[in-house]
């Protein structure tokens, strides 16, 4: 499905310490009609989220200084973002990680490299 034809531009924040991966995903999502922002650290993501007010966040788990788990918890505490759709986007897919993702309150867990069709479906459905 072409999300551009869905008629609703979503605001999507991509957070990954791998700058190239983050920008590639951001460009892909924006090419499908959505507004995107990129952060390469947890602190940057939290600062950006306050002004950008994303509807959807794709969040790497294994980042230095502040893990994606910590970022997810902090995002939920920002006024207006308590119900933002947060998808873990990580190379970690063991049971302990999946359990922790669920316990932390993520809405979804995607393993890298993520299927771009699934990414677009989540963007379309998450805020709709």
10-126 is classed in which CATH architecture?
A: 3-Layer(aba) Sandwich (3.40)
Is residue 84 classed exposed, middle or buried when 0-12, 13-18 and 19+ CB atoms within 10 A define those classes? buried
How confident is the model at residue 1, as a pLDDT? 37
How confident is the model at residue 20, as a pLDDT? 96
How confident is the model at residue 128, as a pLDDT? 54
For 120, list phi and psi in degrees, rounded to 5: -65, -35
pTM: 0.92
How confident is the model at residue 125, as a pLDDT? 86
Q: What are the per-10-residue average pLDDT scores of the chain (128 residues)?
A: 58 97 96 97 97 97 96 96 96 95 96 93 81
**Domain ranges across the chain:** 10-126
How confident is the model at residue 98, as a pLDDT? 96
How confident is the model at residue 71, as a pLDDT? 98
């Amino acid at each position: 499905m072409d999300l551009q034809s869905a008629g609703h531009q979503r605001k999507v924040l991509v957070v990954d310490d791998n700058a190239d991966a983050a920008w590639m995903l951001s460009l892909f999502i924006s090419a499908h009609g959505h507004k995107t922002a990129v952060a390469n650290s947890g602190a940057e993501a939290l600062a950006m989220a306050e002004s950008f007010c994303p509807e959807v966040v794709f969040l790497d788990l294994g980042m230095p200084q502040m893990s994606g788990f910590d970022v997810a918890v902090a995002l939920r505490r920002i006024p207006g973002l308590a119900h933002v759709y947060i998808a873990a986007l990580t190379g970690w897919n063991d049971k302990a990680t999946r359990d922790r993702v669920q316990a932390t309150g993520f809405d979804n867990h995607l393993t890298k490299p993520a299927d771009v069709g699934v990414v677009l479906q989540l963007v379309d459905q998450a805020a709709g």
